[in-house]
Structure 1
Amino acid sequence: MQFNGMDSYLKIVEWMKDCGDTFALANEVKYSHPIMLIQTLEGAMAVNPTDWIIKGVKNEFYPYKNEIFVETYDECD
């Protein structure tokens, strides 16, 4: 799922909880932009607006930069 700021935050948290993750957190960086903190196998990582959240084969989550996502994956039906 793509993080687009606080508008998409609740949808992502629900999706992550449905996958068994209860560690999703949100944080507002003052004077900058909203970020979402997610728990990964390597610890907490920041997700910035336009970043994607990828679910791995072990139901783990990782942030993924939009530029790399667009170059790596093709849209399908």
Structure 2
Amino acid sequence: MLKFKQHNIPDLEFQSAIKKPIPIRCIQINESFEVETLEGIMRGKRGDWLMIGVNGEMYPCDKGIFEKTYDLTDGTE
């Protein structure tokens, strides 16, 4: 079994990929919250986002990660 450690990128021939622009539903929550996810109970902090994925799954997204990886749309996409 291969094992990979954080911050130790293996010497492999990686390809490049771009995440598909799939619209999802989200709302910023202004208090601490918990959500039951496919991986168990996860917690969000004040200001984090509650996301609804393409299969209806819910999960929290850290505010900083959201700001780096998502742009809000007008909902018409």
Instruction: Please state if 1:4 is matched with 2:11.
Output: no
| TM-score normalised by the chain length of structure 2 | 0.57
The Cα RMSD (Å) is 1.1
Q: What displacement does 1:73 show?
A: 1.3
Distance in structure 1 (CA, Å) of the matches to 2:45 and 2:51: 13
Amino-acid identity (%): 42
Following superposition, the deviation at residue 62 of structure 1 comes to 0.7
- Provide structure 2 residue ranges, at least 5 long, that are not aligned to the other structure: 1-26
Offset of residue 68 of structure 1 = 0.9
Residue 40 (structure 1) aligned to one of 34, 37, 40 = 37
Partner of residue 63, structure 1: 60
Deviations 1:14-61 (A, max 9, x none): xxxxxxxxxxxxxxxxxxxxx211100001111110100111112111
Q: Which runs of 5+ in 1 are unaligned?
A: 6-34
Q: Which has the higher contact order (CA 8 A, sep 6+)?
A: 1
- Relative to its length, the structure with more helix (as a share) is 1
